[in-house]
Amino acid sequence: MTTLAPTLTLAGGAQMPVLALGTWPMNDAETADAVDSALRSGYRHIDTAENYGNERGVGEGLRRSGIPREEVFLTTKFNRAHHSVDGARAACEVSLQRLGVEQLDLLLVHWPNPDQDRYVDAVRGLAALREEGLIRAFGVSNFTQPHLARVIDAGFLPEVNQIQLDPEHGRAELLRVHRELGIATTAYTPLGRAGAFLADPAITAAAAAHGKTAAQVVLRWHVQQGIAAAPKSANPERQRENLDIFDFALSDAEMAAISALDVGAPLHHDPEEFGH
């Protein structure tokens, strides 16, 4: 029996599963295997990007799994070269082709790239694509509060902002803004990169108390805040473990102890400077 993750209702009405399979940095062959096994295990949300170079692998894994397309939520993202109204359309069309599908569930601007100052037009293009039905929802990734403010001032509300977020990078102020505006949050690298905090007593004590692993506790910390998470795993056993987080709840004290691990560490990449 498989467990399906609950969903978040996005501002435009689409239902986004709160647990996604992250696919960076897998190649097409690795991605096809990972997506196939994840979907068979119960995942219904797959996260990829133009820059990952594995959209074809996602499509292959989806077809191989036998899960109907309409049951799977596909998220992808496009690069700075497509930051224009026409560029967003071109990015969408090539992603549809690589994935082998007729519609995207969620398309994101991957980075704001403020140096070229075209991200508002990129979002404008996404809004037009949603109106046409080529995508079901649109959003952004790695946007900070000032980036979001400019987009909203132009009349567009991103439905999702996918950001680096984990117990050491709690992003409390940005989460507050998201909640006020009705923007859903997806955490990438939700378990961190080095993962050192997984050994912290705040997490290991909760894991022992609930009979779960440290990674399961951290993923539960995310979703219990109403945050979607996209952990990457190519291992079928680990995929099933990551999905097995909906049969327990962390106490308020456990949630607070994990949130207290936010040490104000810098992000892996500064959204003002980095971007594909």
What residues are labeled active site? 52
Name the residue type at position 249.
A
* Residues in a beta bridge with 7: 17
Cα dihedral 214/216/217/223 (nearest 10): 150
In whole angstroms, give the CA distance from residue 124 to residue 156.
7
In whole angstroms, give the CA distance from residue 182 to residue 139.
12
> What are the start-end ranges of the H helices in 55-171?
55-65, 85-99, 119-132, 145-153
Return the DSSP state at 276. Answer: -
Are the CB atoms for 48 and 230 separated by under 8 Å? Answer: no
Number of residues that make up the chain? 276
> Three-class SS string for 233-261?
CCCHHHHHHHHCCCCCCCCHHHHHHHHCC
**Cis peptide leading into residue 25 (ω within 30°):** yes
Are the CB atoms for 11 and 182 separated by under 8 Å? Answer: yes
